[in-house]
Every structure is written in C-alpha cells, then in structure tokens.
Amino acid sequence: MKRRFEKMHGLGNDFVIFDARETPLEMDGATARALADRHTGVGCDQLIVIEPSQIADLRMRIWNADGGEVEACGNASRCVALLAGGHSRIETAGGVIQGEALDGAAEVDMGTPRFGWDEIPLAYPLDTAAMPVGWEDLHGPAAVNVGNPHVVFFVDDSGAVDLARLGPAIETDPLFPDRVNVNVASLDGGAIRLRVWERGAGLTQACGTGACATAVAAIRRKLAASPVDIRLPGGTLTISWRPGESIRMRGAATHVFTGEVAL
C-alpha cells in the first residue's frame, strides 16, 4: 500500500512525517531504519508518525535513523506544530508539549527539564550540574533530560572538537544506560554556538532538544541569560527558560515536499 508522507526539516535536521490519524500505520524499527537510509530509502535523520491521542490533540512518535524509538525531538515538534496549525497539544513519550504554528516557524513549550541522576538516566549518582567525568579534552559536562537525555560540554571552540570520533564513544559509554545525545557548546557573546552528536542519528545540522538542554545548562551555570540564541550549523534557535519553569523554543520549520512510498 502506498502511504503519503511530508518531508520537512528544522534548520536542516530532516524528517519523513506520516500522518496516521485517520489510517493507522504500523511502524517498527527495521522499517524506520530502511526509510531513513539516504542511499536506499527516502532519507532523513528521524522518522515521525502522527497518531490520534487520548490526552492531547495528537500523538507524535519518533524513530532515529538507526531504528530506535525515542522520547523527544525538538525540531520535529516544530514541524508537527506547523502541520497541526494554530495551538496544539502534542503527546510524546517524553511528555505532553505545546506548539504554536507561526509563519514558516513554530514555538514549542517543551516542558520542564529534569536534573536527577536517575532521571537523565545515569548509571550511578553524580552531580549533573558538573559531572566529574571526562573523555580526552572534554570534561565536567552537565547532564539534562528535556524529554530525552543530553550531556553538554562547554568548550572554548566547539568547531574544533572531533565530535565524529568522540560522539559515538560518549553516546555509548556505560555511564548512560539509555545512551545519550552529546552537545559541545561555546559562548559567543550573549549567544551560544552548538554542535550535536545525536544518539541514533550522528552529526546533524541542528538538534532542538540539544539547544534546549544547552541553554538550560548554560543558564544554570550562569554562563548565559534567558532568552538565549543557540547557533547551530543549520541556523539559530531562541530558547527561553527560568529555573522551575518550562522551556520555550522558537525557530524555523520548513516543508520540503509531499511524497509517497510503498509500505
């Protein structure tokens, strides 16, 4: 059977999005991985299925390019909010988030960050504001769960870090039982430059939850003030957060084309 999909991206972090609200779609890891393949499939960083929800306006399910189903995706949330239009409540495995469609962009309330070592999760108790661990020149990271797990390193020059080599080693370190998204961030005036090695997807042009986690970690350490611009290779996201409150993320969401694939 042929299924229609929307190809969208948020700052170059790209998605194949199926709307299964009216016609159910059985998705599994192997199918998601095959569709995400850039040589033999449609090609994307994450595959998204929109389903009906009992507790929100719609439910968003997310698979990484490696076929693993995950809890949150900031850039895809903006794309789904744009598709939904107006204000929408979006159920994810990481919690219910709220989107507002704008002109070629969206603002999403991503919920409150979690800092408990067992909420990241880590394998054993550590101070998640500055963990006494390191990998070569990367050390003292913060850990934040923004629906999904992130570790954030503040470095002098994020562009100089060999993230393609260090990212996979940190992602799969036994300290992170659910694996982890790896962020390297540099202060840039009042803004932050960020590169991300995504769990299950590798280096991407942008990571929305990475931007949220990095902004929260920087504000917690008093390295930045809210709102803060996070400059990623694919463009800039503006993140607002105050301790005890939820994270708001604003940025572009772009429709590329509508396609069809046999499933």
Say if residue 209 carries a ligand binding annotation: yes
Closest to ligand LBFN2T5F by CB, 24 vs 112, is 112
Q: Kindly list the distances between the CA atom of residue 102 and the CA atoms of 79, 81, 107, 161, in Å, as whole numbers in the listed order.
A: 11, 9, 7, 35
Q: Give the residue with the Cβ less far from ligand LBFN2T5F, 123 or 132.
A: 123
For ligand LBFN2T5F, the closer CB: 15 or 156: 15
In whole angstroms, how close is the CB of 224 to ligand LBFN2T5F at the nearest point? 19
Residue 96 CB, nearest approach to ligand LBFN2T5F (Å): 16
Confirm if 1 and 263 have CB atoms less than 8 A apart. Answer: yes
The pair of structure tokens assigned to 156 is 């002098």
145 is in an annotated binding site: no
Report in angstroms how near the CB of residue 135 gets to ligand LBFN2T5F at its nearest.
19
Residues of this chain that interact with ligand LBFN2T5F (CB under 6 A) are 13, 45-46, 64, 70, 73-75, 148, 181, 198-201, 204, 207-209
Closest CA to 208 of 163, 169, 157, 253: 253
Which residues on neighbouring strands pair with residue 19, listed in sequence order? 50
| Active-site residue identified among 44, 73, 79, 212 | 73
Question: Does 69 belong to an annotated binding site?
Answer: no
Task: Classify residue 198 by burial, with Cβ atoms within 10 Å: 0-12, 13-18, 19+.
Answer: buried
The verdict on whether residue 183 carries a ligand-binding annotation is no
Peptide bond into 52 cis (omega under 30): no
Query: Would strands 202-203 and 69-70 be described as parallel, antiparallel, or unpaired?
Result: unpaired
Q: Smallest gap, in angstroms, from Cβ of residue 208 to ligand LBFN2T5F?
A: 3
Q: How far is CA 15 from the centre of its chain?
A: 12
Angle between helices 74-84 and 208-220 (to 10 degrees): 120
Q: Can 207 be counted among the known catalytic residues?
A: yes
Pick 178 or 188: Cβ nearer ligand LBFN2T5F: 178
Instruction: Just list the catalytic residues.
Output: 73, 207
From the annotation, which residues make up the binding site for substrate? 13, 46, 64, 74-75, 148, 181, 198-199, 208-209
